[in-house]
Every structure is written in structure tokens, then in C-alpha cells.
A and B are shown apart, each in its own frame.
Chain A
Amino acid sequence: MTITATLEVFRCAPGGVDGRFESYDVTVHDNATVLDAIEAVWANHDRSLVFRHACHHASCGSCGVLVNGSEVLPCIVDLADALRQRSPVRVEPLRNLPLAGDLVVDVTGFFERMLASTMSITRTAEDALPLDADDDGGRSQAVSVPDGLARFNRFENCVECGICISACPTMATDERFRGPAMLAALGRARAESADPQQREHLLDLADGEHGVWRCHSSWECTQRCPQQVDPAESIMEQRREILRRRFRRRVR
């Protein structure tokens, strides 16, 4: 069994130049996802379509887009459901990030934030990766890996898809805002750390005009997150911690 759908796909050159919607008819298996449909556009209509994808099961976080106006990972959205919502199905790149071309956004700023949060949670499996050049018997000597790269591993549920960045209204105008993903990562890293100094440092990074206090409680990050990370709750918890610390310092 197959279904036929029309997709309205946002197309543009780098920087969002020449942005427009183009329609494509695709015929795919009736249990296809929206990502399958996007791949069908690429395979059957236009090999120049730029889009990101890898795992097809919501764990790599690379395919995030807007489907019918809402941020989703299209690899876990049934095309049939999307069609019931709106036909033709509209596919757009995430918002609040620079457009790199078609459905792909530049995530440099996003990862700068994630790195600043230190992301100290390391999964066992990732520990085994040859993170130091020495570990692999010198085979990759040309690659110099800086100290602390192990911290680069992802923290718990967050798949770093950028959906919360796209959903957050403050992110639309404030590039200095640390944003939901980084603030959630800061909260998670602090919970994980046993080092009091590091915990203080992480709380310091969350404080400030463009830290937790720039959040205006629209709750969109938490509502859109495909992995139940709940950045909004983490932001509120860190506010309380900051206030508690400030109060303790006053009292002493």
C-alpha cells in the first residue's frame, strides 16, 4: 500500500537568499514518516535539496524541521498524521538559527552554547571511544584532540536537535540569550557535579540578564522537546537556586 502526498518544501540559498516554497508530489509506503517523504523528494525530484538526517529514530537529533508550523523530528512523525493536519504538508527549516540552505540551519551558535555548559555527562559507551590520539595506537596522529573533549559528549536525554531554540520566542531576537538547551545542560551538569566550585561556576553561567532571567515562561521549549528534557523546569529550578545562594550570602 502506498500514499501520495504533496509536500511544500522551503527552498533557499545560504543566508536565506531567494527563499520560496516549492511543491513536490511523492508516492511513498503508507507507513512512511515525513522524513521518508523528504527523502523521496530528494530521490525522485531534486537531488539539490539540502537537508540533514542520520539515524531515522529520534536519537541523532539532526533532522529537526518545522512540519506544518511546529518543530518536530520528521523521522518520528507519520506522513499520514501530518497530512491529516494539513495538506499539502509544509516543511520548513528551524527558526532562530541562520539558514545554511533549504532545510538546513547553521548550528554553530547552538554548539557554542552547549560546549560552554561543559556537558560533563559521559556515557559508558562513549568513554571507550579513542578520544585521545594516543588511545588508538597512534593511527590518527595527525588529529590533535584538545584536552577535555570527553566533555563534548551529549548529556542524558538531549539529542541537540535545536528544536527548543526554534520554539523559544526570546531566541527570535536575543542572540546573547543562553537559551533553553544550554540552560538545561547547565542544570544537568550542575546536578551531576560533586565539585562545589564547579557547581558555583555553572550557576554563575546561568545567572545574568541573558541567562535564566531572560526566559519569559512561554513553555514552548518544554512543549516541543522530542525527548522530554524539560528546559523550562530546569530554568525555574536554577532561578530558585540563584536566589537561595544570594540570600545565604546576604545572611552570612
Chain B
Amino acid sequence: MAVSTPSGPSRVRSAGRWFDVRHRGPGTWAYALNRITGLALVGYLYIHLAVLSLLARGPGSYDRFVDLVRSPLFLALDLVLIAGWLIHALNGLRLTVVGLGFGVRAQRTMLVVATGAGLLALVVSAVLLFGD
């Protein structure tokens, strides 16, 4: 008997499953983080482009803006941004290599290496940001 697909929860509600890492492995963490950072970075791209329009208005407004973002709060936000980049970039590199069929069996190892490299790069960035 052919059973028609019953109307389950709406697709948007089901999308919560993308980010449900309970009882899941490290691959799901990587997947969920990649998606969250990806969407957030698109948001940042547009904020960045909008803010840079200040440059077109001449020195006054842009220089005042730079003074604002050099406060410790904004430097901390910069660190969050860098963390987002690192997660997205390093995991993306792993997805590219594995997704082209190379080193498929080493994907977990790559995840560990990427996590280590990312944390190291984040510490270096923090030192550079707050160092001076």
C-alpha cells in the first residue's frame, strides 16, 4: 500500500535538526558550526560593506568610526569574528579535500588537526589584537 507522506512538522521547524548536536558525533559539530559561522559571516559582510560607505563621505565620519571600534569591546568582537573565520576556513578546507574524494578516511584526523591549528591561530590573533 502506498502511504502518502503525512504532513510532518514544517520544514523550517525541522531545520532545527541541523543544529541538534545531542547524541551526534564530531562531524555534526563541524557541520553545525560551519553553517552558523557561514550565515553569520554573510551578515558581517553586509555590515562591513555598509560601514565602509562612511569612507565615501569623507574623513570626518570615518575617523570618528575608527576611534569607536578601537575600544576593547570592539576588539573582543574582532576576536569573535576571527574565530568565525578560522572555524569556517579550516573546516571548509577539510570539506574541500574530503569532498573531492581525497583522504576520505583521514577526515576525522583532519578535524582534529584543524581544531588544533584553529585554536593556535586564535591565540596568536588575540596576542596581536590586544598586544599593543
Report how far A175 CA is from B8 CA in the complex, Å: 12
Does B6 contact A15, Cβ atoms closer than 8 Å? yes
- Binding stretch for chain B, among A126-134, A150-158, A235-243: A235-243
Contacts A15-B6, A220-B27: A172 and B98 contacting too (C-beta < 8 A)?
no
- A236-B104, A237-B101 known; A70 and B27 CB under 8 Å? no
10 contacts between A and B (CB under 8 A): A69-B22, A98-B5, A98-B8, A108-B2, A169-B18, A173-B18, A218-B24, A219-B107, A220-B28, A237-B104
Contact, CB under 8 Å: A216 / B31: yes
B99 is contacted by which of A95, A100, A220, A239 (Cβ under 8 Å)?
A239
For chain B, give the interface size range.
20 to 34
8 interchain residue pairs of minimum CB distance: A240-B101, A69-B23, A219-B27, A172-B17, A15-B6, A218-B31, A218-B27, A236-B101
Chain B positions 1 through 37: 1 when the CB is less than 8 Å from some CB of chain A, otherwise 0: 0110111100100110110001111011011001100
Residue B79 lies at the interface, judged by CB distance under 8 Å to chain A:
no
- Interface size bracket, A side: 20 to 34
A109 touches B22 (CB 8 A): no
Q: Is the interface of B mostly helix, strand, loop or mixed?
A: helix
CB distance from B18 to the nearest CB of A (A): 5
A207 interface hit (Cβ, 8 Å): no
Cβ–Cβ < 8 Å partners of A69 in chain B: 22-23
Q: Which of B67-105 contact A (CB under 8 A)?
A: 95, 98-102, 104-105
- Whether A98 touches B6, Cβ cut-off 8 Å, given contacts A217-B95, A232-B104, is yes
For B95, the closest partner residue in chain A by CB is A217
Report the minimal beta-carbon distance from B23 to chain A, rounded to whole angstroms. Answer: 3
Min CB distance B89 to A, Å, is 15
Give Cα A215 to B65, complex, Å: 42
Q: Is the CB of A217 within 8 A of B98?
A: yes
